[in-house]
């Protein structure tokens, strides 16, 4: 394979700016077709983004002879269904997060991948953003010394931007999303923790359900212990009072600390008595660095930038914390 030729299943909001255009802009990559069940919306997307082909049937994308990789960008409830079909054709899969509805589905997906000759990457794009690569450098090079603690907090009010409802409100429908805002936002955070600190030894957590009109978690908390001895305490609150929103991960070490929002641009680095603020501008098409790394992986030029094993661990933690 000299070029990755893409088809997209589910050309909705996430593909408009974050991901879709990047498939045409990275090296050795071409976007050939998009699919959406609403044919008019599929055509509209194809025309606006200059995509040659559009369909309203996923099978047309999956079985197209010229397509060798498929981006699954539908809501989580159909991730497994489409991924299993794609893997049976031995075509590569780039799948949105969370990769499945739950841990059990993640295991089914792993088993199918093992039977296929295809490759699969999860779209945890923060792994390839300069801001979070800098955090990894700070950790790996022990800029703040040996890690002593990790604390993660995400508090959002009902009106906060991160919890803005989509047109169909599917993020708070457990049958479609797997849960609520925790299932939508926490995968980004948990994946970075796994990326930075490695294998998990044990974890425990719980959720409370306080919003009378939604059957999803309002507040979640838990602890993750990594095999390298590092421990993370994390808490999420999606009914926080307005004005008390917080998005912070603080990693403390023997020589200082690094603090930053998971959904922001600034890092505050304190090391050996010195304090520095580092500001990062994310790319317009924020998934582009990860898509380039994924293309390189599919072409045999690099390792998998986000393998299914990491996704399985993330799903297992999400299921435990959601109880």
Segment 306-318, tens digit of pLDDT = 999 999 999 999 9
What is the per-residue pLDDT for 22?
98
Is the pLDDT at 164 greater than 60? The verdict is no
Taking the model in full, what pTM does it have? 0.95
Interatomic CA distance for residues 236 and 56, integer angstroms: 38
Is pLDDT at 166 greater than 60 in this prediction? no
Higher pLDDT, 56 or 211: 56
What is the pLDDT, as a whole number, of residue 56?
97
End-to-end C-alpha distance for the chain, whole angstroms: 44
pLDDT in tens, 93-114: 999 999 999 999 999 999 999 9
Q: pLDDT tens digit string along 48-77?
A: 999 999 999 999 999 999 999 999 999 999
Lowest-confidence range among 102-111, 213-222, 231-240, 258-267?
213-222
Helix count (H) and strand count (E) of the chain? Answer: 11, 14
Residue 213's pLDDT is 58
Cis, bond preceding 98 (omega within 30 deg of 0) = yes
Q: Are 122 and 97 in contact (CB under 8 A)?
A: yes
Q: Please tell me whether residue 116 adopts helix, strand or coil conformation.
A: coil
Q: What is the CATH class of 130-281?
A: alpha beta
Q: Do domains 4-125+286-303 and 130-281 have the same CATH topology?
A: no
What pLDDT is recorded for position 171?
79
Ordered by start, the domain boundaries in the chain are 4-125+286-303, 130-281
DSSP track, 165-178? PPTT-GGG-HHHHS
Can you tell me which residue has the tokens 């699954």?
A: 72
Confidence of residue 211 (pLDDT cuts 50, 70, 90): low
Banded model confidence at residue 163, pLDDT cuts 50, 70, 90: low
Class of domain 4-125+286-303: alpha beta
Question: Where are any strands of DSSP class E within the chain?
Answer: 4-9, 29-35, 53-55, 69-72, 92-95, 120-122, 147-155, 200-208, 219-226, 231-237, 246-253, 256-260, 266-271, 274-279
**Residue 4, pLDDT score:** 98
pLDDT reported for residue 323: 86
Can you state the angle between helices 103-115 and 308-321, rounded to 10 degrees? 160
Q: pLDDT at position 178, please?
A: 87
Give the 3-state secondary structure of residue 19. Answer: coil
d(CA 173, CA 166): 11
Q: What are phi and psi of 265, to 5 degrees?
A: -130, -5
Give 114's contacts (C-beta < 8 A, 6+ positions apart).
Answer: none
């Amino acid at each position: 394979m000299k070029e990755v030729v893409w088809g997209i299943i589910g050309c909705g909001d996430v593909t408009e700016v974050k991901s879709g255009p990047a498939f045409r802009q990275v090296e050795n990559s071409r976007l050939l077709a998009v699919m959406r069940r609403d044919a008019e919306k599929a055509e509209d997307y194809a025309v606006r983004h200059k995509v040659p082909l559009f369909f309203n049937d996923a099978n047309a994308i999956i079985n197209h002879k010229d397509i060798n990789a498929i981006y699954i960008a539908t809501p989580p409830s159909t991730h497994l269904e489409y991924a299993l079909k794609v893997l049976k054709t031995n075509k590569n899969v780039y799948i949105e997060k969370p990769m499945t509805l739950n841990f059990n589905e993640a295991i089914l997906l792993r088993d199918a991948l093992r039977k296929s000759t295809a490759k699969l990457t999860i779209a945890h794009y923060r792994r390839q953003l300069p801001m979070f690569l800098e955090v990894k450098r700070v950790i790996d090079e022990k800029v703040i010394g040996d890690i002593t603690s990790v604390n993660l907090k995400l508090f959002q009010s009902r009106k906060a931007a991160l919890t803005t409802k989509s047109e169909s409100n599917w993020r708070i429908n457990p049958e479609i999303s797997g849960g609520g805002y925790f299932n939508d936002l926490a995968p980004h955070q948990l994946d970075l923790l796994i990326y930075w600190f490695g294998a998990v030894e044990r974890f425990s957590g719980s959720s409370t359900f306080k919003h009378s009109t939604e059957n999803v978690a309002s507040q979640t908390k838990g602890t993750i212990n990594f095999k390298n001895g590092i421990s993370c305490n994390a808490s999420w609150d999606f009914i926080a009072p307005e004005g008390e929103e917080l998005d912070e991960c603080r990693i403390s070490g023997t020589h200082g600390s690094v603090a930053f929002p998971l959904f922001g641009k600034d890092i505050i680095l304190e090391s050996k008595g010195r304090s520095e603020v580092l500001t990062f501008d994310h790319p317009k098409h924020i998934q582009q660095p990860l898509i380039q790394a994924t293309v390189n992986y599919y072409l045999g030029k690099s390792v998998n930038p986000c393998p299914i094993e990491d996704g399985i661990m993330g799903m297992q933690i999400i299921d435990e914390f959601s109880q």
